[in-house]
Chain A
Amino acid sequence: MSHARKTPLNKQHIELGARMVEFHGWLMPVQYTSIIDECKIVRESAGLFDISHMGEAEVKGAHAFELMQFITSNDLSELDEGGVQYTLMLNDEGCILDDLLIYKISDNRFFLCLNSANTESDVNWIADQALQYPDVEVRNISRQYGMLSIQGPNSEPLLKPLTRSRLSELDYYHFVTTALGGHMVILSRTGYTGEDGFEIYCDWRETESVWSQLLGKGKSFGLKPIGLGARDALRLEMGYSLYGQDVDSTITPNEARLGWVVKMDKQGGFIGRDALVKQKAEGTKRRLVGFEMTGRGIPRSGYAIYKQGNKIGEVTSGTMSPTIGRAIGMGYADWGNRTEGTRIDIDIRGKMVEAVIRKLPFVRSNVKKSRSLDRASAG
């Protein structure tokens, strides 16, 4: 415990009565009152998460775009200034080094949000690749930024009085640099819960002030602090993968249902592309699937998945879904077992318990529809 790093809100969490746990070297609040209640608060009103353990990096210089385009799988040329893109960094084997968000500040300046456990290796990897590009600077700026996430249907009305920024015009996966409660922050309409919401990057030293103002102003909107336990359940209800649990550097995007952020035909190619072409030609052997328990029991990471007596895979995440009240999970199963309704069994402590393959997400997404998407469908 003593070596674990603390977020700028460690004192606040303890005062709020949070149960603190070590998570990838960080002392983090896992719950304040109850994971079930905290999930409900996020789905019905609004919740505030301290996710200051997340890593941030900056990539800038004349060739920053070319570098980032080549080391990520999504097509960065589709991203405008003020836009955010979910993407992957792959290794030469086409496996996932990390999933990340890229914020485009300008053509030669990008802000990255990285998984905390990968931040150091990510930045080293990017810096190594950058050697091929003149005039690109890569910096790990994680220590400068605290990070908060406010999620739930009341997020926008709650934030409105704290900023002059027109939040109603901020689309999903877009950001602004703005003053929030008197502090300059990066405010993006992103999240990990399937609800409308915002992620806030602020100065490490000002995180406490932003947090306190939000909790204070948010009271009348039902805003409560939410721990990592609820964050994990909420993301699993949406079928979002957690790096290190559902996805790692032995898994390709096709296997992980992340093919939608791989643009095989983008100009100039990208690291890992050749391996993905090869995998496609040879056939992908396994795929991440979602399932729901129909028998009694809760699936957990590492449990075996069976079909008609044969082992076909392994569970990577499982929980009792607080929102739908049924046990759900995700895991890798041999290719060809993804059809909705397919009967499977989960080996729970030596007992075969019935389950069925379900389409993801388990819970309907309520993220704010982009205006541009509305326009596209209208036109």
Chain B
Amino acid sequence: MEFPDNLVYSKEHEWVLAEEGVATIGITDFAQGELGDIVFVELPEVGADLGRNATFGVAESVKTVSDLYCPVEGEVVEINSSLEDSPEQVNSNPYDKGWMIKVKMADPSQLDDMMSAEDYAKYIKESK
């Protein structure tokens, strides 16, 4: 399992890449592995306002439906529409092609409450 150092992580297994006030959000390698084959992803519309820890969509595997949580408050400025036809990118490439939404952050300091790669790896180990 891979947890890149340039990202921060949530307890609900989302990752955030912060660049110039915009958070790119997806789910972690651990999360995609737990879900299994992802066959459907539902994302919000561009322009939607998301509260902190609000549900922004769902990821479905063959057997299960899982909510996706937005760890930071803000406005959706872009979604990864390629997941509509190729949701399996979340499995094969969770940190790159499998990204889900970009959010213009209302308060970037909310990132301070998220975990580093090292802390997240520890968190997973402990919760197992």
A residues adjacent to B (C-beta < 8 A):
19, 30-31, 34-36, 229, 232-233, 296-298, 300, 319-320, 322, 327, 349
Minimum distance in angstroms from B92 CB to a CB of chain A: 11
* CA–CA, A296 and B62, complex, Å: 15
Q: What 7 A-B pairs come out closest when comparing CB atoms?
A: A320-B39, A35-B62, A36-B37, A34-B37, A298-B40, A229-B63, A298-B60
Closest to A230 in B: B62
* Cβ-defined contact, A35 with B63, below 8 A: yes
Known A31-B36, A297-B40, A298-B65; further 5 A-B contacts with Cβ < 8 A: A34-B36, A233-B62, A296-B40, A298-B40, A319-B63
Minimum distance in angstroms from A41 CB to a CB of chain B: 14
A-B pair count, CB < 8 Å, reads 38
Minimum distance in angstroms from B36 CB to a CB of chain A: 6
* CA–CA, A334 and B107, complex, Å: 51
* CA–CA, A36 and B35, complex, Å: 13
* CA–CA, A349 and B60, complex, Å: 13
Give the residues in chain A near B62, CB-CB below 8 Å. 35-36, 229, 233, 319-320, 322
Give the residues in chain A near B58, CB-CB below 8 Å. 349
Answer yes or no: B61 CB below 8 A from chain A CBs.
yes
Most chain A CB within 10 A, of B61, B62, B65, is at B62
Give the residues in chain B near A31, CB-CB below 8 Å. 36
* CA–CA, A36 and B36, complex, Å: 9
Answer yes or no: B84 CB below 8 A from chain A CBs.
yes
Minimum distance in angstroms from B69 CB to a CB of chain A: 15
Give the residues in chain B near A319, CB-CB below 8 Å. 62-63
- Interface members, chain B 37-68 (any A CB < 8 Å): 37, 39-40, 42, 58, 60-63, 65
Give the residues in chain B near A30, CB-CB below 8 Å. 63
Give the residues in chain A near B63, CB-CB below 8 Å. 30, 35, 229, 232-233, 319
* CA–CA, A34 and B88, complex, Å: 12
* Cβ-defined contact, B65 with A300, below 8 A: yes
* CA–CA, A298 and B64, complex, Å: 10
Contact A320/B60 with A296-B84, A300-B65 known, Cβ cut-off 8 Å: yes
* Cβ-defined contact, A35 with B40, below 8 A: no
Minimum distance in angstroms from A233 CB to a CB of chain B: 6
Grouping DSSP codes into helix (H, G, I), strand (E, B) and loop, the B interface class, with mixed when no group exceeds half, is: strand
Minimum distance in angstroms from A1 CB to a CB of chain B: 13
Minimum distance in angstroms from B30 CB to a CB of chain A: 13
Provide a sorted-by-A list of 13 A–B residue pairs whose CB atoms are within 8 angstroms. A35-B61, A35-B62, A229-B36, A229-B62, A232-B63, A296-B40, A297-B40, A298-B39, A298-B40, A320-B40, A320-B60, A322-B62, A349-B58
Minimum distance in angstroms from A32 CB to a CB of chain B: 11
Minimum distance in angstroms from B23 CB to a CB of chain A: 24
Minimum distance in angstroms from B61 CB to a CB of chain A: 7
- Interface members, chain B 80-122 (any A CB < 8 Å): 84
Minimum distance in angstroms from B85 CB to a CB of chain A: 10
* CA–CA, A327 and B84, complex, Å: 14
* CA–CA, A35 and B40, complex, Å: 14
Give the residues in chain A near B61, CB-CB below 8 Å. 35
* CA–CA, A320 and B61, complex, Å: 8
* CA–CA, A363 and B78, complex, Å: 38
* Cβ-defined contact, B36 with A35, below 8 A: yes
* CA–CA, A327 and B40, complex, Å: 10
Give the residues in chain B near A34, CB-CB below 8 Å. 36-37
Minimum distance in angstroms from B13 CB to a CB of chain A: 16
Give the residues in chain B near A300, CB-CB below 8 Å. 65
Closest to A228 in B: B63
Minimum distance in angstroms from B128 CB to a CB of chain A: 13
* CA–CA, A281 and B58, complex, Å: 46
Minimum distance in angstroms from B29 CB to a CB of chain A: 15
* CA–CA, A322 and B39, complex, Å: 9
* Cβ-defined contact, B60 with A35, below 8 A: no
Give the residues in chain B near A232, CB-CB below 8 Å. 63
Give the residues in chain A near B40, CB-CB below 8 Å. 296-298, 320, 327
Give the residues in chain B near A349, CB-CB below 8 Å. 58
Give the residues in chain A near B39, CB-CB below 8 Å. 36, 298, 320
Most chain A CB within 10 A, of B39, B58, B65, is at B39
* CA–CA, A349 and B61, complex, Å: 16
Closest to B33 in A: A19
Closest to B55 in A: A349
Minimum distance in angstroms from B8 CB to a CB of chain A: 28
Give the residues in chain A near B36, CB-CB below 8 Å. 19, 31, 34-35, 229
